[in-house]
Each structure stands twice: as C-alpha cells, then as structure tokens.
C-alpha cells in the first residue's frame, strides 16, 4: 500500500513547468490583455497550454517506463505540529489525469480562438481558462490534502467566473452563484474531512496518511455522529466524499451542473465535462488507500453514483436544450465512475474518466459548433437536417455519440462495459445489485437520449428558423480541428487504454496504475470478474453482451422515434404526461431546495435581523433599558453635539482621570 521510493525520478523543472506555464499565460493575458489584443492573448495562452500538454505527454511516457516523483517545494503553513508543504506526487494516476487535462485544455484553447472571436472579454476568457488549467493541474499533481483543496477551490473559482462569463445575463450570474454555493456545501464536508485527517493522522501528506490508515483502523477508533457510532475512517471518507459529490455533480448536490451550461460552450466542454467535474472521481481514486478500509463509505459511493447515473439519465431523456442533454449525461456518466470506485474498480473509473473526457468534450465542442452555426440557439426543436451544412461536426458528433452510447469499438464501450461488469461481479449485496440495474437501465437511456439529440439536430425535419438559414455553415478550422483531434481520442482511447495501457488489469500493480491505486484483495472486483468469466459452467451472455444489446436497443428506439419526423414522441409524452412533466422538470430538485433551504434561510436571516437585532437588542435592550435610564444624560449629550464636540472630548478625558484619581485616593 505504501508507495515506495523509486529509483527513477522525473525532472523537477519540467514538472513545475507544467502547471506554471498556463499560470504564466493566464497572468499575462489577464493583466495585459488590453495591451496584447486578441491575437497575442490567444497565442500566449494557447501556446503555453500546448507546451504544457507536450510536457505532460513526455512525463506520461517516462512514468510509463517506471519513473515516479515525490517531493516538496515549500512550506505553506507551519504552526506547532501542523506543517503543510506544497509539493508534488507524480505517479500513473497523476499522469493520466495530467495528460487528459492538458490535451483537452489545449483543444479547447484552440477551439476558443474561433468560438469567442470578437467577444469583448476575449483576453479575459483566455486568462480564465488558462488559470483554470493551472488550478486543475495543482489539484491532480499535489501531494497533500491541502494542495488538493487549494486546486479544488481554485477550479471552483474559475468555474464560477466562467459560468458567469457573460455577466450581462442574469441567468448566467445566477447559475454561477449557484454553482459556487452548492460546491461550497460540498467543500464544507471536504474541509471537515481535512480537519479530521490532520487530527487523526497528524499530517496532511498523502503518503504519510496512507501509511497510517491501517493502524487507525486496527486501533478501532470510532466517532459518534448524532448518536450514531461510526468508524473514524468511515467518518473521514464520508466527509471527503461530500466534497467529491459537490464537485462532481452527484445527487443531491448535482443541481448546479446543468445550470452551469449558461457559460460559454468551450468551458462546458473543458470544465463541466472533461476535467473539473471529474475531480471527485479522481479524489476517491487517489484516496483509495483510505476508502478501501471503509465498507460503509464504499457502499455510500456506490449508492450515490448509482442514483445519479439513473436519475440524470431519466432527466436527459426529455430535455430540449442541446447542452442540457449533454450536461445531464455528464452527471449520469460521473455516476458510473463513482460506482466503479465504490465497487473498488478504481482503475475502471479512471479509465472511464479518461475516455469520457475525450468523447464528452467532443460532444460539447460539436454542440458548440452547432450552436455557433444556428446563431446561439440551443433548442434542438429548432434544428434538424444540419448534417447537410456541417459535415465535419456531424461526423465527429456521431463518433462521440457512439462512444458515449457504448458501441464497440469506440472509447466508451471499453470503460463503461468494464464498470458494469465489475459492479455485477463485486457482489456487495443489495448495494451493488441496485447499482447494476441502475447502470444497465442507464445504458439504454444513454443511447436513447444521445441519439434523440443527435437525430433531432442533424436529421429529422428541417425546423431551422428562416432567419438563421442563411447563416448556416461549417465552422472554421480552429473549431473543427479540435473536433477531429478529440474524435481520434473518442475512437481509440478505449482500445488503447484497454489493450495497450493495460488499465484494467485484474492485478492492479501489474497493470497501468501500479501502486497508485490500492485495492484490497477481498474487494478486487476486476479479479472477481475474471474468475466469473473463467467459470464456464454458466452462461455469461447477458453479463458480457447485455450492455451492448441495451445500447443498440436504445439507439434503435431513438431511430424509430426521431430519425424521421414521427408522431410517436408527442403521443408518448401525452400518454405518460405526469412522468414526462416530472422528468422535464428535473424531478423538481430546484423547487425542493427552494422550499427546504433557500426560503427558510432567508426567512431566518430576516427574522434574526428584524426581530433579533432591531427589535430585541436595539429597541428592547438598548432603547428600553440603557437609554431609558440615561435619558437625561442622552438629552444632554445631544445638546453638546451641536458643535462643541471638542469640549466634550476633553471633558471625557478629564472625567476619566478625575474618576481614576478619586478611586485611588479613596483606596
């Protein structure tokens, strides 16, 4: 479990350059954007991120050969026993994240050149996305809970700024605020987790903490929570997981993620699909040496992931906003990743994280290309037949859709199938069983809503408003090039990861991840899966091909309903009106929160202010009590205030000393 020191290490300068290059680009564009103008701003930021991507790939290759790095650079906080260092821990888990983040970010940077062209906040936008890239890199490269938290909060900040990027739009501002505050609810849990980690382990350094987990568990340490006694490690993991739920849009903290679509599309692709929202999954995988020791926490991860995977898929079925469909799909797919972590198939979770990053970023960028063409319309009811106008967007989105639906040999197939099978094999009792059915039904729905959106956009009937018609065109190369690059990822990442990188080896240490992920033998669901499949006394058809069959069925259903314009969707919506309304209104989470939290809290604040402060303290205590008794004195003070304040002041000083003298003389 303990990560051993390795012989091969990496070049510190190179490692530092990876996060610092984007930071430098961000600062330059942010501070001097007014001077640099559009061209230089994007050259500097995109250039630095592309360089960071190249370096990340280089580091990735070195780590593949067995190199690792662990080191501290400076002391952030030191007080008594509390010592917080800023440092890096580079291992296979880190490098796969670094590569994913920088490659997607580089694509998004290039794409943004075309997408944001002419926007008054052009340089600011580049500054934000580069700064975001820096923050995300800190998050994944750090070696302690504090660096994780730093990156965590910093990505939250830039997510906030980018969702509210078009600050003239009230809906964008509301969505930005909602995202920040809901994330903060998660961070509340995260912060408590950090406090507990420091208290029980006396350090916040990953390695040192991981080395002590077994000892803490063996000591039988417990904490009582609202009269419910739980293992300390469970408490810590659950608290940290609350943070992961917030960042990764898991029920019940998912409400901000669909609303975040108010931001410009490039950031939906970068932040709200490929990178930031996967930070929660990364966290659980990174902390696998802790989560592995808490059955309760693992079960919670499975349940939350399964519910999210299922629920968000159902909502995605009926949404009409192209970006919202994809956003709900993101929530749902993140649920798959969490289930993978919960059943201890962390490698499958991270594998899906990687493939998902490529095809989901692609879906978003392609959607952005569509939105760009139809003049900022996002309603798929007003699209249709767009394939005639934008062939590259059409093809790349089809590839992404197939990858998301889980059709072999596209990327999503490998990773998603693995998660589902591992969940089946894990046998955690009712939790993994429920999760299995949730994920399986999710496969059908995913395929359905993806192709519903796809057909309504590119096939079906032409419903584009006449005014937009003349504007329809394929996007310029800066937009289509990233689509093509990501499409390559969406097609090959799964095959590559599974067959070449060995990301799903049943013995983790033999596979790609080596020591960076820890799985107890008793939890190793991928090994269990292998054993299950080797048992030839049973038929494994459903286990091996079930998900594929469901995906094909989903696509077929979507084809029947939406490939050509039919009356079926309307009829179904009418027949199942209550269900449709319920899903269309996203299970009424927003309304529920408004009722449960927003309004009561505002009422409470109003009550504390008006009744507590103004009526009880001010009127009751001060006016009624104190001022009432010194009424004469107050009246006198009032007179004195009309211009003779200096006199009063001197009188006071004299008075004080008079009193003092009197008291002392009488002593």
> What residues from 617 to 646 belong to the interface with other proteins (CB under 8 A)?
617-618, 621-622, 626-627, 630, 634, 637-638, 641, 645
The yes or no reply on residue 79 touching other proteins (CB under 8 A) is yes
Q: Is 24 in the site for other proteins (CB under 8 A)?
A: no
Q: Cα–Cα distance between 403 and 358 in angstroms, integer? A: 9
- Output the smallest distance, CB 49 to other proteins, in A: 21
Tokens for 382? 């007003």
Residues numbered 110 to 149 that lie near other proteins (CB under 8 A) are: 146, 149
Q: Is 653 in the site for other proteins (CB under 8 A)?
A: yes
Residue 361 CA to residue 269 CA, distance in Å, equals 4
Residues within window 190-229 making contact with other proteins, judged by CB under 8 A: 191-192, 194-196, 198-199, 223
Binding flag, residue 80, other proteins (CB under 8 A): yes
H-type alpha helices, 142-231: 145-163, 170-201, 206-218
Residue 150 Cβ vs other proteins, minimum distance, rounded to whole Å: 4
Q: Which residue has the tokens 């992404």?
A: 400
Is 109:39 a contact under the CB 8 Å cutoff?
A: no
Among 154, 434, 549, 556, binds other proteins (CB under 8 A): 154
Q: How far is the CB of 477 from other proteins (least distance, A)?
A: 32
Q: Binding segment for other proteins among 36-44, 157-165, 208-216, 318-326 (CB under 8 A)? A: 157-165
Q: Which of these ranges, 38-46, 164-172, 335-343, 550-558, lies near other proteins under the rule CB under 8 A?
A: 164-172
Within 498-557, the residues that bind other proteins by CB under 8 A are none
Total number of residues that touch other proteins (CB under 8 A): 71
Question: Cβ contacts of residue 245 below 8 Å, gap of 6+?
Answer: 186, 189, 251, 252, 253, 280, 304
Cα separation, 180 vs 88, in Å, equals 27
Rounded Cα distance between 506 and 504, Å, is: 6
Give the tokens for residue 651: 């009188």
Q: Are 88 and 70 within 8 A, CB to CB?
A: yes
Tokens of 57: 């790939």
- In the set 125, 132, 150, 351, which binds other proteins (CB under 8 A)? 150
What lies within 8 Å, CB to CB, of 1 at 6+ separation is 210, 211, 213, 214, 289, 518
Which tokens in the block code for residue 96?
């796969």
Options 61, 82, 531, 596; binder of other proteins; rule CB under 8 A: 82
Residue 272 and residue 179 in contact, taking contact as beta carbons nearer than 8 Å: no
Q: Is 663 a binder of other proteins (CB under 8 A)? A: yes
**Closest to 336 measured CA to CA, from 297, 294, 305, 373:** 305
Helix or strand or coil: residue 142?
strand
By the rule CB under 8 A, 20 interacts with other proteins: no
403-442 residues in contact with other proteins (CB under 8 A) are none
Query: Using the rule CB under 8 A, is 375 a contact of other proteins?
Result: no
Region 165-194 residues binding other proteins, contact defined as CB under 8 A: 167-170, 173-174, 176-177, 180-181, 184-185, 187-188, 191-192, 194
Query: Of these, 32, 76, 495, 548, which contacts other proteins (CB under 8 A)?
Result: 76
Looking at the Cβ atoms of 255 and 399, the one nearer to other proteins is 255
d(CA 324, CA 258) in angstroms, rounded, equals 6
Residues 303-362 that bind other proteins (CB under 8 A): none
Return the residue of 375, 520, 636, 652 that touches other proteins, per CB under 8 A: 652
CB of 494 to other proteins, least distance (A): 36
∠ CA 120-126-128, nearest 5°, is 105
Residue 157 binding other proteins, by CB under 8 A: yes
Of 8, 61, 77, 592, which one interacts with other proteins (CB under 8 A)?
77
Answer positive or negative: Cα dihedral of 371, 375, 376, 380.
Answer: negative
> Which tokens in the block code for residue 101?
């983040």
Stretch binding other proteins (CB under 8 A), from 302-310, 465-473, 568-576, 605-613: 605-613
Using the contact rule CB under 8 A, the part of the chain among 53-61, 160-168, 380-388, 423-431 near other proteins is 160-168
Q: Pick between residue 280 and residue 497 the one whose CB is nearest to other proteins.
A: 280
Q: Does 573 bind other proteins (CB under 8 A)?
A: no
Smallest separation, CB 222 to other proteins (Å): 12
Interface residue with other proteins among 465, 609, 628, 631 (CB under 8 A) is: 609
Question: With respect to other proteins, which residue has the nearer C-beta, 286 or 523?
Answer: 286
Taking the C-alpha atoms of residue 451 and residue 559, their distance in angstroms, rounded to an integer, is: 7
Name the minimum Å distance from CB 334 to other proteins: 22
DSSP string, 18-81: HHHHHHHHHHHHHHHHHHHHHHHHHHHHHHHHHHHHHHHHHHHHHHHTT--EEEEEEEEEEETT
Nearer to other proteins, 148 or 357 (CB): 148
Residue 574 Cβ vs other proteins, minimum distance, rounded to whole Å: 39
Between 174 and 580, whose beta carbon lies closer to other proteins? 174
Residue 395 touches other proteins, criterion: CB under 8 A = no
Q: CB-hemisphere CA count at 13 Å for 492?
A: 8
Nearest to 118 by CA among 42, 171, 187, 226: 42
560 vs 651, beta carbon nearer other proteins: 651
Does residue 605 belong to the site contacting other proteins (CB under 8 A)? yes
Contact between 213 and 233 under an 8 Å Cβ cutoff? The reply is yes
Q: What is the dihedral of CA 89, 416, 321, 466, to 10 degrees?
A: 110
Q: Which is nearer to other proteins, 167 or 477 (CB)?
A: 167
């Amino acid at each position: 479990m303990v990560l051993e020191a390795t012989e091969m290490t990496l070049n510190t300068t190179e490692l530092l350059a990876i996060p610092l290059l984007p930071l430098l680009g961000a600062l330059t564009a942010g501070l001097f954007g007014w001077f640099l103008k559009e061209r230089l701003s994007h050259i500097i930021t995109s250039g630095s991120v592309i360089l960071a991507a190249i370096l990340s790939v280089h580091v990735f290759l070195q780590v593949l050969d067995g190199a690792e790095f662990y080191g501290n650079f400076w002391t952030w906080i030191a007080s008594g026993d509390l010592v917080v260092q800023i440092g890096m821990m580079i291992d296979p888990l880190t490098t796969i994240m670094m590569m994913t983040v920088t490659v997607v970010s580089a694509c998004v940077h290039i794409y943004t050149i075309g997408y944001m062209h002419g926007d008054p906040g052009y340089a600011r936008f580049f500054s934000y996305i580069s700064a975001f890239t820096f923050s995300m890199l800190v998050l994944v490269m750090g070696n302690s809970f504090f660096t994780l938290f730093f990156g965590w909060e910093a990505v939250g900040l830039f997510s906030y700024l980018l969702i509210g990027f078009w600050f003239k739009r009230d809906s964008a501002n509301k969505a930005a605020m909602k995202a920040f505050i809901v994330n903060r609810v998660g961070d509340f849990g995260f912060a408590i987790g950090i406090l507990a980690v420091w208290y029980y382990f006396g350090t916040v350094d990953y390695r040192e903490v991981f080395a002590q987990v077994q000892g803490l568990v063996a000591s039988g340490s417990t904490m009582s929570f609202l009269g419910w006694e739980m293992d300390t490690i469970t408490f810590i993991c659950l608290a940290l997981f609350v943070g992961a739920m917030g960042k990764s849009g898991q029920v019940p903290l998912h409400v901000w993620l669909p609303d975040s679509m108010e931001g410009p599309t490039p950031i939906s692709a970068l932040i709200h699909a490929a990178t930031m929202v996967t930070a929660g999954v990364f966290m659980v995988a990174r902390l696998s040496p802790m989560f592995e020791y808490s059955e309760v926490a693992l079960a919670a991860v499975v349940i939350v992931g399964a519910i999210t995977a299922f629920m968000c898929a159902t909502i995605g079925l009926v949404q009409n906003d192209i970006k919202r469909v994809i956003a709900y799909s993101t929530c749902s797919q993140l649920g798959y990743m969490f289930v993978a972590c919960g059943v201890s198939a962390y490698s499958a979770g991270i594998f899906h994280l990687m493939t998902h990053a490529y095809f989901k970023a692609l879906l978003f960028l392609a959607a952005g290309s569509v939105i760009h063409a139809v003049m900022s319309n996002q309603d798929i009811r007003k699209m249709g037949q767009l394939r005639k106008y934008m062939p590259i967007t059409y093809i790349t989105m089809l590839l992404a859709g197939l990858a998301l639906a889980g059709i072999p040999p596209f990327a999503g197939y490998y990773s998603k199938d693995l998660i589902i099978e591992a969940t089946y094999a894990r046998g955690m009792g009712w939790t993994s069983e429920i999760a299995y059915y949730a994920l399986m039904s999710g496969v059908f729905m995913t395929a359905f809503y993806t192709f519903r959106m796809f057909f309504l956009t590119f096939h079906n009937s032409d419903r584009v408003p006449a005014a937009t018609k003349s504007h329809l065109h394929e996007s310029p190369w800066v937009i289509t090039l990233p689509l093509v690059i990501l499409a390559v990822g969406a097609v090959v990442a799964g095959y590559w990861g599974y067959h070449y990188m060995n990301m799903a080896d049943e013995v983790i240490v033999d596979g790609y991840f080596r020591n960076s992920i820890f799985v107890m033998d008793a939890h190793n669901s991928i090994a269990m899966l292998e054993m299950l499949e080797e048992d030839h006394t049973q038929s494994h058809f459903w286990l091996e091909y079930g998900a594929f069959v469901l995906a094909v069925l989903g696509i077929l259903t979507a084809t029947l309903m939406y490939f050509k314009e039919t009356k079926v969707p309307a009829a179904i919506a009418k027949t199942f009106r209550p269900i449709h309304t319920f899903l269309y209104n996203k299970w009424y989470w927003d309304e529920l929160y408004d009722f449960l939290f927003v309004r009561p809290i505002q009422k409470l604040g109003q009550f504390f202010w008006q009744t507590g402060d103004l009526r009880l303290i001010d009127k009751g205590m001060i006016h009624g009590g104190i001022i009432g008794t010194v009424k004469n004195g107050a009246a006198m003070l009032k007179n004195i205030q009309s211009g003779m304040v200096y006199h009063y002041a001197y009188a006071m000083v004299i008075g004080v000393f008079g009193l003092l003298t009197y008291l002392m003389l009488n002593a």
